[in-house]
Homo-oligomer: A and B are copies of this chain.
Amino acid sequence: MIRMIAFDADDTLWHNESIFALTHERYTDLLTPYHPQEWIESRLFATETGNLKRYGYGVKGFMLSMIETAIELTEGRITGREIGSILEFGREMLVAPIQLLSHVEETLPALAQRYPLLMLTKGDLFDQETKVARSGLADHFRHIEIVSEKDKTTYEKVMMQYNLRPDEFVMVGNSMKSDILPVLELGAYAAHIPYHLTWAHEKATLPETLRSRYLQLEHVGLLPELLKRLDAEHQE
């Protein structure tokens, strides 16, 4: 019997990577006078990844990585004014309207009537809190947790905190690396809803051995039906 459903937020409940993609475009446009687009993208990704240990996830760290990469790529020739534009790209990301993914708005309240829902999102505390508030979804969630990383330890803590056996817990999310694999490794259920864009850092493949509690859905609207099936199987 499923006793808690946890949801990732970025790219599971609302669009996020698409905002990053748009900013990437504006950023490469700014720097193409200096370098070819592919090289800019590849340097930015390397800086971002290298900076995760320093800044963690989130827009502010991404802004700092964009600035750092721009200075490096131009050997310091980038102007203050151009860096001002990069700051502006980031500031616009921070206030971009929250666009819910399709079926989220009607599915969450229905699920919330049958199960306690947990929002479990990683990233920048302040940024994620304002997004949750702006999303209008907070009331459907019994608990909201913002963590700095979503790995096996994180999920173990969550299940311990709420007193859940692995077969009583489902995690729903778009990232194979953060939402699916660590959850399956603990023997819990993971419902994967791929988003059309995936940040290279979040890519991972599912090993054959972990397929038994892996569920894949096209959109969140299919989740209630799938949970009913799971609960029915449990009762057999």
Contact = CB atoms under 8 A, between A and B. Distances in A.
Interface of A: 54-58, 60-61, 63-64, 67-68, 70-71, 74, 76-81, 83-84, 87, 90-91, 94-95, 124-127, 129, 146-148
A80 B71 contact: yes
A126 B71 contact: no
B70 A60 contact: no
A221 B118 CA distance: 41
B76 A81 contact: yes
A124 B67 CA distance: 20
B54 A94 contact: yes
B67 A83 contact: yes
A38 B219 CA distance: 56
Contacts of A87: 64, 67-68, 71
Contacts of A63: 64
Nearest to A123: B125
Nearest to A146: B125
- With a 10 A CB-CB cut-off, give which of A61, A71, A126 has the most chain B CB atoms: A126
Contact of A124 (B74, B84, B90, B125): B125
A71 B84 contact: yes
Contacts of A76: 79-81, 84
List of 3 A-B pairs having minimum Cβ-Cβ separation, nearest first:
A56-B126, A76-B81, A125-B125
A56 B148 contact: no
